[in-house]
Chains A and B, each alone.
Chain A
Amino acid sequence: MKSQFSFLRFFKSQPQVIPGFGLSLGFTLFYLALIVLIPLAGIFIKSSSLSWEEIWMTVTHPRVLHSYKISFGLSLLASLINGFFGFVIAWVLVRYSFPGKRILDALIDLPFALPTAVAGITLCSLYAPSGWIGRYLELLGLKVSYTPLGILLALIFIGTPFVVRTVQPVLEDLDQEVEEAAISLGADRLQTFFRVLMPPLIPPLLTGIALAFARAVGEYGSVIFIAGNMPMKSEITPLMIVIQLEQYEYAKATAIAGVMLVVSFLILLCINLLQSWSSRYQRN
């Protein structure tokens, strides 16, 4: 009761130094409702035209179940791989200067700009058994196109920029003196890296991984060309939704979409909690 009371008071009588709180919060809520909440709520409303049994049957169909594994598993794996390599790329871009650095820096964003279908077709033909890269991988017994490995590759491709762009500015802001302080206190390179440089980079790294994951889960265009889309093997969940749509089963499509949303939301929530825990020292 009391907390509710102080919550109300926060809105009513507390004098605010920074003006425009009411207006900007109101606008934010309105905008989010219009752009995000209403469409998302629509998904659940539409799927509620089905009975619980029908919903359950739809979302636990073996093909759909397998697609969850592919979509969430590979997205998580891809975002972790992007976490590692994105970190390395950001590190190189910030800490060293070399000819062509600007060009490399601009190259990072290309996966954002490229239409995903173009990326998918390009990757697919490169890694197909007859493709420029695929023919050599074939010799090693490695099949990429039309397998889950191909899906992973596409997801890594489209998620590359996220970690680089979240880690880069924080790395740039790291104080060189902090590193020097660690060195003069007797720390060696590894100790300086893991104890002093790395901890402040974990929150942005987690943010980048979360963004890359969110993007990967929802990715359709680039994956669909390289996946091969074989039932129980290389089908992703967005494809399951599209298949339902093509059969005019809109409610069933939204039911699967609802599952994706809830699971994605839970995973993102976990990453966010982890992130806020790892940056707890920044709070006053």
Chain B
Amino acid sequence: MSIQVNNIHKTFGKFKALDQIDLEIPSGGLVALLGPSGSGKTTLLRIIAGLDFADAGSGTISFNGLDVTSLAAAKRKVGFVFQHYALFNHMSVFENIAFGLRVRPKSEQPSELEIEERVHKLLKLIKLENFGKRFPKQLSGGQRQRIALARALAVEPQVLLLDEPFGALDARVRRELRRWLRQLHEEIHVTTILVTHDQEEALEIADEVAILNHGKIEQRGRSQAVYDFPTNAFVCEFLGDVNSFSNEKQTTLVRPHEIELYRHEPSGIEGVVRSVNAFGAVERIEVDLLCEKKLILVERSSAVKEKHPLSTGDLVCVKVRKEFIFPHA
């Protein structure tokens, strides 16, 4: 099921939450809406789900070319997963997942046996087979979010919408669930939109990302392409650490791993090593530039680190491998 967002506007009082949004999501795709808080990404997701409505007179939302703009949320067949799970705490895990099937009109309702079968299949999919009888409050955050996902999937939605699904979880669980979600998507191939403010999460999970800022889409494309070829300084800065140099005419941005350091090189910009932080595969070095009063961040792989060890106070030469230049408008 493909999703077309066509010329959507949304204002809250005087605040423009969404400003002329056009977005097309291909059937079976996994697209991340990425942006800082307040950029309008959650609002857009809620409008797609039918939990919010765009301004009167603005454009349309279509599923597979079918206009659903004025269709109620209950009729859109959308699976929505909330940041804080929004589970029904008074129901067992089993009943939570079965909820979407039980509220169907009598004629479309599956038999008790079918419901049981489907719920058990989903419990297996989220790797919580033996948790059906528990209540949500007895489970960890990661488990609860997986149940919320199973509950959304139980109704076989045409579209899966995830609103910062891992935002409330700790870093390790988050990484695990990310990988699991990616796998899950490869298994079931339901069109998915993921809203997140975590660029690493977006780039890792999604086929494509759309970067939002101030209610506008700044850039849209495949994850790697957006990272390698940002169209403006905001996108570049948002997608990762950068060293920024600007003058009246332009802003130059350099990623920390695109800088090389040499100890004995007559030419180049000189600097002094201020601090060395070497844990894991990447060594992070802060260098004080001598020509400009400026501290820059450099990242080196461990292979380079072993060949050319550096310590605080060393005099080095700085060379830039790749830079992004954005002229000021």
Measuring CB to CB, which residues of chain A are less than 8 angstroms from any residue of chain B? 175, 177-178, 180-188, 191, 195-196, 199-200, 281-282, 284
B86 within 8 A of A: yes
Taking a contact as CB atoms under 8 Å apart, the answer to whether B100 and A185 are in contact is yes
B317 within 8 A of A: no
Taking a contact as CB atoms under 8 Å apart, the answer to whether B99 and A184 are in contact is no
User: Pick the contact of B103 from A180, A195, A200, A284 — CB < 8 Å?
Assistant: A195
Digit string of B58-86 for contact with A (CB within 8 Å is 1, else 0)? Answer: 00000000000000111111111010101
- List B contacts of A186 (CB < 8 A): 74-75, 77, 100, 103-104, 155
User: Pick the contact of B137 from A184, A196, A282 — CB < 8 Å?
Assistant: A282
- List A contacts of B82 (CB < 8 A): 177, 180-181
Taking a contact as CB atoms under 8 Å apart, the answer to whether A281 and B80 are in contact is no
Digit string of B123-160 for contact with A (CB within 8 Å is 1, else 0)? Answer: 00000000000010110000000001001100100000
Taking a contact as CB atoms under 8 Å apart, the answer to whether B103 and A184 are in contact is no
Taking a contact as CB atoms under 8 Å apart, the answer to whether A185 and B103 are in contact is yes
Residue of B nearest to A202 (CB): B90
Taking a contact as CB atoms under 8 Å apart, the answer to whether B103 and A181 are in contact is no
Binding site of A, secondary structure by majority: helix, strand, loop or mixed?
helix
Digit string of B77-113 for contact with A (CB within 8 Å is 1, else 0)? Answer: 1111010101111111000000110111000000000
Taking a contact as CB atoms under 8 Å apart, the answer to whether A183 and B51 are in contact is yes
Taking a contact as CB atoms under 8 Å apart, the answer to whether A178 and B86 are in contact is yes
B230 within 8 A of A: no
Q: How far is the CA of A195 from the CA of B99 in the complex (A)?
A: 9
B49 within 8 A of A: yes
Taking a contact as CB atoms under 8 Å apart, the answer to whether B103 and A188 are in contact is yes
Q: How far is the CA of A281 from the CA of B96 in the complex (A)?
A: 13
Besides A184-B50, A186-B104, A281-B137, 17 new A-B residue pairs in contact (Cβ under 8 A), listed by A number: A175-B84, A180-B73, A181-B82, A181-B86, A181-B88, A183-B51, A184-B73, A184-B76, A184-B79, A184-B80, A185-B152, A186-B74, A186-B103, A187-B99, A196-B88, A200-B89, A284-B138
- List B contacts of A199 (CB < 8 A): 90-91
Q: Which 5 A-B pairs have the closest CB atoms?
A: A185-B100, A177-B86, A187-B103, A181-B86, A199-B90
Residue of B nearest to A177 (CB): B86
- List A contacts of B77 (CB < 8 A): 186
Q: How far is the CA of A74 from the CA of B16 in the complex (A)?
A: 57
- List B contacts of A175 (CB < 8 A): 84, 86
Given A191-B103, A196-B88, A200-B90, A185 contacting B155 (CB threshold 8 A): yes
- List A contacts of B90 (CB < 8 A): 199-200, 281
Q: How far is the CA of A181 from the CA of B99 in the complex (A)?
A: 10
- List B contacts of A196 (CB < 8 A): 88
Binding site of B, secondary structure by majority: helix, strand, loop or mixed?
loop
User: Pick the contact of B80 from A181, A191, A284 — CB < 8 Å?
Assistant: A181
Taking a contact as CB atoms under 8 Å apart, the answer to whether A178 and B137 are in contact is no
- List A contacts of B92 (CB < 8 A): 281
Residue of B nearest to A180 (CB): B51
Q: How far is the CA of A284 from the CA of B77 in the complex (A)?
A: 33
Q: How far is the CA of A180 from the CA of B45 in the complex (A)?
A: 13
Q: How far is the CA of A194 from the CA of B100 in the complex (A)?
A: 14
- List A contacts of B78 (CB < 8 A): 184
Residue of B nearest to A196 (CB): B88
Q: How far is the CA of A175 from the CA of B75 in the complex (A)?
A: 22
- List B contacts of A282 (CB < 8 A): 89, 137
Taking a contact as CB atoms under 8 Å apart, the answer to whether B84 and A183 are in contact is no
Residue of B nearest to A185 (CB): B100
Q: How far does the Cβ of A204 sit from chain B's closest Cβ, in whole Å?
A: 13
Q: How far does the Cβ of A219 sit from chain B's closest Cβ, in whole Å?
A: 34
- List A contacts of B72 (CB < 8 A): 183
Q: How far is the CA of A177 from the CA of B137 in the complex (A)?
A: 16
Q: How far is the CA of A184 from the CA of B151 in the complex (A)?
A: 11
Taking a contact as CB atoms under 8 Å apart, the answer to whether B137 and A284 are in contact is yes
Taking a contact as CB atoms under 8 Å apart, the answer to whether A180 and B74 are in contact is no
Q: How far is the CA of A185 from the CA of B103 in the complex (A)?
A: 8
Residue of B nearest to A200 (CB): B90
Q: How far does the Cβ of B110 sit from chain A's closest Cβ, in whole Å?
A: 13
User: Pick the contact of A180 from B86, B88, B89, B152 — CB < 8 Å?
Assistant: B86
Q: How far is the CA of A196 from the CA of B88 in the complex (A)?
A: 7
Q: How far does the Cβ of B169 sit from chain A's closest Cβ, in whole Å?
A: 16
Interface residues of B in 13-68 (CB under 8 A from A): 49-51
Q: How far is the CA of A284 from the CA of B135 in the complex (A)?
A: 8
Q: How far is the CA of A70 from the CA of B79 in the complex (A)?
A: 54
- List A contacts of B89 (CB < 8 A): 200, 281-282
- List B contacts of A195 (CB < 8 A): 88, 99, 102-103
- List B contacts of A177 (CB < 8 A): 82, 84, 86
Identify which of B90, B138, B148 gathers the most chain A CB atoms within 10 Å of its CB. B90
Q: How far is the CA of A138 from the CA of B116 in the complex (A)?
A: 59
- List B contacts of A191 (CB < 8 A): 103
Taking a contact as CB atoms under 8 Å apart, the answer to whether A182 and B99 are in contact is yes
